[in-house]
Amino acid sequence: MIHHIVLLRLKSDVTAAATDAFMEKAREVLEPIPGVRHFRVGRGLAKRAEVSHPVALVMDFDDDEALAAYQVHPEHQRFVTEIAGPVEDDKQVYDYRL
């Protein structure tokens, strides 16, 4: 099992309501992509997370092939360029095999 974690800091002018809408759109677009398991999206709880990268997208994949297919899937590519790109200030991506 691979755990794919994306931590995002949104631009300073993105409102709380727009952040909520972004998180719901992430769920709507990314969760149905084949190979995605256990999709979660949420906000950081501690002050450090609120400032650094307050939005987390966490999903699991069965294997390397499933993660690779997700990366090039058209809906993932659309999400990265059209949905996250305009509001994203910084992104950290981590993959773990646990």
List pLDDT tens digits, range 24-67.
Answer: 999 999 999 999 999 999 998 877 666 688 899 999 999 999 99
Q: How many CB atoms lie within 10 A of CB 88?
A: 16
pLDDT confidence of residue 98: 84
Name the domain count of the chain.
1
Average pLDDT, the chain: 94
Residue 5 lies inside a defined structural domain of this protein: no
Residue 13 lies inside a defined structural domain of this protein: no
Residue 3 lies inside a defined structural domain of this protein: no
Residue 59 lies inside a defined structural domain of this protein: no
- Structural domain that includes position 29: 18-54+64-97
Q: How is the chain split among helix, strand and coil, in percent rounded to 5?
A: 40, 35, 25
Residue 45 lies inside a defined structural domain of this protein: yes
